[in-house]
């Protein structure tokens, strides 16, 4: 029978191919298999960002009342309390001012003859009082800024303190002063470039920045 030999050979060939394919699949699968392991904290780690908040309250009339009829040499004291109410310590407390008057008058544009401000702090709340004289501080008064022209303060905030602890209050006296100066009014007409009869509309702004960022281990 000459016809059976090729048929048997074909079957063997098919069987061998199938066996080889199966072996190849098995060995290939072994290459891609991997083991994984993880570790994690079983209690979630709380993470919260700090807050920086500054609030200002008048002590007495504060900035809430107009200052009128200021003569050369006059000083008008006003008292405010600042609270660093956030959770972060602050650095770089400054005072700036803007004048909404248009056009701006000599009161806030003349550094020599215009208004100037001094700021002092008291460890405890001031007793502002009223009328003639200054308010009182029960302990020691610390000057924070002295005779800073508003003409300067409009463009460059004046540094008051390098640090303010979270939750701390600052008790401040803000003294507005018009430098004494000579002018003669002739026949009821105010002189040219006078300091008299001028207006300003002041907005005082205290600004603090966060303390320096830190790297800690705990």
Partner 1 sequence: MAGTTSPRSIAAAVGLGVAVLCSASPSWAVASAAAGSAEQPVTSASWGIVPTTGASAPGTPGPLTLSFPKPAGNGTAPPQYFNAINNQSLTVSSATYTLAQSATTVVAVEACSGTWNEATGQCTGTITALVTTTTGTTAGSASSTIVPAASGAVLRLRCRPTQASKSAVETYTIGVQVARGAIRAGTTTTG
CB of 139 to partner 1, least distance (A): 19
92 vs 96: CA distance, rounded Å: 13
Q: Which is nearer to partner 1, 76 or 141 (CB)?
A: 76
| Nearest residue (CB) to partner 1, 18 versus 190 | 190
Nearer to partner 1, 26 or 47 (CB): 47
- CB neighbour burial string for 196-216, b if at least 16 within 10 angstroms, e if fewer: eebebebebebebeebeeeee
Cβ 181 to partner 1 shortest distance, Å:
7
To the nearest whole angstrom, how small is the minimum distance from the Cβ of residue 217 to partner 1? 19
Please state the closest distance from residue 71 (CB atom) to partner 1, in A. Answer: 4
- Residues contacting 151, CB < 8 A, separation 6+: 108, 109, 110, 111, 114
Q: Between residues 37 and 186, which has the closer beta carbon with respect to partner 1? A: 186
By C-beta, is 140 or 182 nearer to partner 1? Answer: 182
Minimum distance of partner 1 from residue 21's CB (angstroms): 40
Q: Are 117 and 150 in contact (CB under 8 A)?
A: yes
User: 94: exposed, middle or buried (C-beta count within 10 Å: 0-12, 13-18, 19+)?
Assistant: middle
Residue 36 CA from chain centroid, whole number:
47
Residue pair 88/52 in contact (Cβ under 8 Å)? The answer is yes
CB of 44 to partner 1, least distance (A): 23
Which residue, 22 or 196, is less far from partner 1 as judged by CB? 196
| Alpha carbon distance, N-terminus to C-terminus of the chain | 91
CB 63 within 8 A of CB 32: no
């Amino acid at each position: 029978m000459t016809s059976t030999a090729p048929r048997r050979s074909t079957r063997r060939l098919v069987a061998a191919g199938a066996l080889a394919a199966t072996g190849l699949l098995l060995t290939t699968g072994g290459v891609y298999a991997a083991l994984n392991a993880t570790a994690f904290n079983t209690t979630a780690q709380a993470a919260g960002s700090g807050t920086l908040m500054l609030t200002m309250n008048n002590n007495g009339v504060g900035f809430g009342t107009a200052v009128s009829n200021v003569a050369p040499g006059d000083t008008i004291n006003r008292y405010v309390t600042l609270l660093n109410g956030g959770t972060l310590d602050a650095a770089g407390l400054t005072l700036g001012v803007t004048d909404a008057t248009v056009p701006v008058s000599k009161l806030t544009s003349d550094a020599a003859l215009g208004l100037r401000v001094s700021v002092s702090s008291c460890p405890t709340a001031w007793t502002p009082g009223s009328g003639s004289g200054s308010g009182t501080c029960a302990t020691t008064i610390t000057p924070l800024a002295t005779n800073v022209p508003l003409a300067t303060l409009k463009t460059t905030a004046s540094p008051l303190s390098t640090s303010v602890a979270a939750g701390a209050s600052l008790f401040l006296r803000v003294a507005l002063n018009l430098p004494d100066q000579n002018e003669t009014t002739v026949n009821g007409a105010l002189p040219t470039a006078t300091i008299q009869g001028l207006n300003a509309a002041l907005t005082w702004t205290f600004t603090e920045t966060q303390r320096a960022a830190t790297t800690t281990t705990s």
